[in-house]
Chains A and B, each alone.
Chain A
């Protein structure tokens, strides 16, 4: 069992504070590091991966300092965000090289390539890979030594839905096996689907931590606004406003639809299709109108 401890860690670059006095503990299972772009997620992951010294505070794995400690990589696997790999190698050559650097060999490399289902393209040059394929080969290189800690920086970027689902399944399994899996993301749904434990970072600060349900409640309890178009907007409005999950409805003549404010997200999402069906109304558009990350995060920080 491996646990990462970040203790009052700060990191500044010149006058810019990227990470501001963050304390968190990341234990076995899948943890999602959530925050908008520029929040300090990569800085945190780089500190946990030993590629950045904290300006202040400490970052340790089971009590061992990570910075300047090459031996720590026997326990850590890293999937960096950056694209650059050894593009002139084939996928197999790349993973074999990573295995050899761990004192392992072809057998472990083959196993890792099988785990990410990249055997079919393993003899092609990495330069010819799609982003999703690169991501999977990076993943194989990080898994080759069977690490107890896995750090992934924005692993789902550029993946198509199928690849995304496969990677989620793989990470979930890694977490279930008792590994400490930490991934960063700026997409709520990704984190929500995968992580049992969430750490939210906003503007270099630790905004929220821990319990998935608590954070989810914070996220979902805020008022949600939707733009809904149907073949009978006024009938739909009348039926929806009767339910307490809806706090306001406005007929938007310009947009040609209804602006609905929902206070109970879960109940509203079940209510809307049921009401439409019961009244024989056809829904044409259902789109959230204030789902920008900034609004969600600023809500979280205020909470």
Chain B
């Protein structure tokens, strides 16, 4: 410990905090943490599974729009996209809060909304990369994008990715059991209740996303239980509210000591 430091009489040397909503360092730490964890394996396994299914179905049954629709709508949108949303959304902040390393982010003059917004962007990016792109590819493999099914479902997946990321990021700031809550929402609510109970479909991210994807596919190729204006309104409201509240949570994050 040889080098001396300067005296602290001068005002602190640190620059004024960035006013931008995106901080590249926060983004770098977030995606490296996300992709460096063992949980990230699921991010690779699920899309790979989808592609394998697509190739197998095409080889065995040939190109068929109905089959393509049920695989992309059922497995991809119904299960894979929300699961990847859970991993990316909760993983973008939950583990840092759990193990306390978030201290290093929070003990900085960086506005809390910037931290949340950056983490949201990273979670969205990861979710889109590992769900919307594989859906697009699987769609082309299944039926060569006939009736714009591949594009339609990929757009749905991308739209869903935004809302899932925001919701699960919020879960990550609220509870240590964010993954469990996320899985319950994704698998019980979206996959089960959302598909079976008509009224509940109005409150399903999946249905909102399908309403948007519906616009890009051929007439009747993709169906949603929700009208487009309502879907867009709900998507925007949920994403904005979840992000805002996550920022508030972070601002008042309490770290209990070891005692």
Contacts and interface: CB of A to CB of B under 8 A. Distances in A.
Interface of A: 1-2, 13, 18, 37-43, 45-46, 49-53, 67-68, 70-78, 80-82, 84-86, 88-89, 94, 97-98, 100-104, 108, 111, 114-117, 141, 143, 145-148, 153, 166-167, 169-170, 173-174, 177-179
Given A74-B12, A146-B12, A146-B13, A100 B103 contact: no
Given A97-B28, A102-B108, A177-B7, A46 B255 contact: yes
5 contacts: A37-B259, A88-B33, A97-B104, A103-B18, A170-B1
Contacts of B7: 177-178
A148 B259 CA distance: 27
Interface of B: 1-9, 12-18, 23-26, 28-29, 32-33, 36, 99-101, 103-112, 251-259
Given A71-B109, A146-B6, A169-B1, A103 B17 contact: yes
A190 B5 CA distance: 23
A88 B36 contact: yes
Nearest to A40: B259
Nearest to A45: B257
Contacts of A67: 252
B35 to A, nearest CB: 9
Nearest to A13: B256
Nearest to A142: B107
Given A46-B257, A50-B106, A173-B5, 16 more contacts: A18-B257, A40-B259, A42-B259, A43-B257, A45-B257, A68-B251, A70-B111, A74-B12, A86-B104, A97-B25, A98-B108, A116-B1, A146-B5, A148-B12, A177-B8, A178-B8
Nearest to B35: A88
Nearest to B107: A78
A2 B98 CA distance: 32
Given A52-B256, A75-B12, A170-B1, A70 B26 contact: no
B110 A101 contact: yes
A145 B1 contact: no
B147 to A, nearest CB: 44
Contacts of A117: 1-2
B15 A88 contact: no
A103 B259 CA distance: 33
Contacts of B36: 88
Nearest to B16: A103
Contact of A73 (B18, B109, B251, B252): B109
A253 to B, nearest CB: 43
Given A102-B109, A103-B14, A86 B29 contact: yes
A167 B259 CA distance: 24
Nearest to B37: A88
Contacts of B2: 114, 117
A141 B101 CA distance: 12
A118 to B, nearest CB: 10
Contacts of B255: 46, 51-52
Contacts of B101: 82, 84-86
Contact of A80 (B6, B15, B103, B253): B103
B171 to A, nearest CB: 20
Top 5 nearest A-B pairs by Cβ distance?
A42-B257, A103-B15, A84-B99, A101-B108, A148-B8
Contacts of A85: 101, 104
Contacts of B110: 70, 101
B61 to A, nearest CB: 43
User: Of B12, B25, B259, which is in contact with the most chain A CB atoms at under 10 Å from its CB?
Assistant: B259
Nearest to A42: B257
User: Of A86, A101, A147, A179, which is in contact with the most chain B CB atoms at under 10 Å from its CB?
Assistant: A101
Nearest to B25: A100
Contact of A70 (B4, B33, B100, B108): B108
Contacts of B32: 86, 88-89
Contact of B25 (A74, A101, A148, A174): A101
A67 B255 CA distance: 12
Contact of A104 (B13, B99, B259): B13
A13 to B, nearest CB: 7
B109 A74 contact: yes
A167 B12 CA distance: 23
B228 to A, nearest CB: 40
A102 B110 CA distance: 8
